[in-house]
Amino acid sequence: MIIVPEKEIATLLGRTESYDAVEQVFAAMAAGDAYNFPVVREAIGHANALYGFKGGFDRAGMTLGLKAGGYWPNNLETHGLINHQSTVFLFDPDTGRVRAVVGGNLLTALRTAAASSVSINHLARKDAKVIGMVGAGHQATYQLRAALEQRSFEKVIGWNLHPEMLPNIANIASEAGLRFEAVELPGMVEADVIITITSSFAPILMSDHVSNGTHVACMGTDTVGKQEVGVDLITRATVFTDEVAQSITLGECQHVVAEGSKTEADIRQIGEVINGTHPGRQTDEEVTLFDGTGVGLQDLAVAGAVVDLAVERGIAIEVDF
Ligand code: NAD
């Protein structure tokens, strides 16, 4: 069995490798070569923790396994650890033997940023110049860095419920040599691409905050009850997702489907666009929207890439198990 500790991930996996792994697995999902298992997520009744599993099998990439982990709200204060904790376990699809244990914390941030990047690459207008960020927490910094590589952006605009957090994303813009401007939500009409990445339980970004031709990547809603954008915006947009089943149950589309203004059939997998079986954006006026719910196969894809790199570079820890 191979172990790749959390501390090695940053030196092994960059944004390019994460992008490639996630794009490939989205393509495999849409081709019917890869599928996710039902998600388990439970309040364990201890330490206020939410714990669960996301797993799947990718026959194209021969990756089988699961990510186990969740959210421990008191970790930072009480233990000096980050609140989100996860570990990926990979198994040999031919025998069922455990193949690898991989630290999953940074991987989660990288694979989530890769997902919105894949959506921007395939759905945003080629001439996109202004990117808008709704959210400025931990994940927002990864989202923005990865997104900036997809188009020749000239300016970053941002809104956050807690304005004192905006320097997190302003610093990323500045590192990239771009102007940053804090805006109110109606100011988002200037953006050609918008990423929402908050832990909101009520709509923030509404249809009249978004101009025609914009691509919106909704990345924060990964749980029943969460919501970042108005049903009016989703109703107006051409909607794509990582996995339709997750999108309508725990993703941003749970609300539009419950309200009845879109059905499951109106929501397409981003993998179809990658595979060329769906045209994706068809006009410069269309609003496209990606509901990135976060699937287990994304975690397995980046973990598989890490294991290969760790073995290649001689830093994988091998254990006789
Ligand atoms: P964080 O705690 O670092 O940041 C939270 C962000 O949400 C901040 O910008 C904060 O100001 C904002 N926020 C908090 N309460 C809000 C409210 N009521 N209304 C509007 N904004 C509010 O968290 P993070 O690690 O950046 O994660 C952000 C979200 O992304 C979480 O909901 C998390 O579950 C989700 N997430 C999704 C995926 C995925 O694959 N889709 C992966 C990782 C994280």
Q: Tens of pLDDT along 14-35?
A: 999 999 999 999 999 999 999 9
Residues 118 and 274 sit within 8 Å (Cβ to Cβ): yes
Class of domain 125-294: alpha beta
The structure tokens 């570990």 sit at 87
Between the CA of 220 and the centroid of ligand 1 the distance, in Å, is: 6
Residues 240 and 266 sit within 8 Å (Cβ to Cβ): no
The strand pairing partners of 152, in sequence order, are none
Q: Judge if the beta carbon of residue 219 lies within 6 A of ligand 1.
A: yes
Q: What is the pLDDT of residue 117?
A: 98
Q: Whose CA is nearest to atom 2 of ligand 1?
A: 137
Q: Tell me the best of 197, 201, 219, 300 to mutate to test the pocket of ligand 1, counting ligand atoms within 8 Å of each CB and taking the most.
A: 197
Residues 240 and 312 sit within 8 Å (Cβ to Cβ): no
Q: Tell me the best of 185, 199, 209 to mutate to test the pocket of ligand 1, counting ligand atoms within 8 Å of each CB and taking the most.
A: 199
Q: Tens of pLDDT along 190-207?
A: 999 999 999 999 999 999
What is the band of 106 on the pLDDT scale with cuts at 50, 70, 90?
Answer: very high
Q: Judge if the beta carbon of residue 158 lies within 6 A of ligand 1.
A: no
Q: What percent of the chain has pLDDT over 70?
A: 100
Tell me phi and psi for residue 216, to 5 degrees: -115, 125
Between the CA of 141 and the centroid of ligand 1 the distance, in Å, is: 11
Question: Pick the catalytic residue: 67, 155, 226, 262?
Answer: 67
Q: Which residues have C-beta within 8 Å of that of residue 214, sequence separation ≥ 6?
A: 191, 192, 193, 194, 287, 288
What is the band of 69 on the pLDDT scale with cuts at 50, 70, 90?
Answer: very high
Nearest-atom number in ligand 1 for the CA of 204 is: 20
Closest CA to 296 of 100, 18, 68, 138: 68
Q: What is the pLDDT of residue 87?
A: 98
Q: Judge if the beta carbon of residue 242 lies within 6 A of ligand 1.
A: no
Q: What is the CA radius of gyration of the chain?
A: 19
Q: Whose CA is nearest to atom 39 of ligand 1?
A: 294
What's the CA angle centered on 38, arms 91 and 61, to 5 degrees?
A: 40
Other CB atoms closer than 10 Å to residue 17's CB: what's the count? 17
What is the pTM assigned to this prediction?
Answer: 0.97
Burial (CB < 10 A; 0-12, 13-18, 19+), residue 216, is buried
Q: Judge if the beta carbon of residue 292 lies within 6 A of ligand 1.
A: yes
Closest CA to 119 of 205, 206, 19: 19
Sign of CA dihedral 74, 76, 81, 84: positive
Q: Judge if the beta carbon of residue 167 lies within 6 A of ligand 1.
A: no
Q: Which residues have C-beta within 8 Å of that of residue 113, sequence separation ≥ 6?
A: 15, 18, 139, 142, 143, 145, 146, 147
Sign of CA dihedral 306, 23, 228, 223: negative
Buried b (16+ CB within 10 A) or exposed e, 100-120: bbbbbbbbbbbbbbbbbbbbb
Q: What is the mean pLDDT of the chain?
A: 97
Q: Tens of pLDDT along 249-302?
A: 999 999 999 999 999 999 999 999 999 999 999 999 999 999 999 999 999 999
The residue ranges of every structural domain in the chain are 2-108+297-318, 125-294
CATH number for the segment(s) 2-108+297-318: 3.30.1780.10
Other CB atoms closer than 10 Å to residue 277's CB: what's the count? 13
Q: What is the pLDDT of residue 228?
A: 98
Q: Tell me the best of 72, 139, 161 to mutate to test the pocket of ligand 1, counting ligand atoms within 8 Å of each CB and taking the most.
A: 139
Mean pLDDT computed over 119-135: 98
Q: What is the pLDDT of residue 145?
A: 98
Active-site annotation holds for 67: yes
What is the band of 75 on the pLDDT scale with cuts at 50, 70, 90?
Answer: very high
Other CB atoms closer than 10 Å to residue 282's CB: what's the count? 10
Q: Judge if the beta carbon of residue 199 lies within 6 A of ligand 1.
A: yes
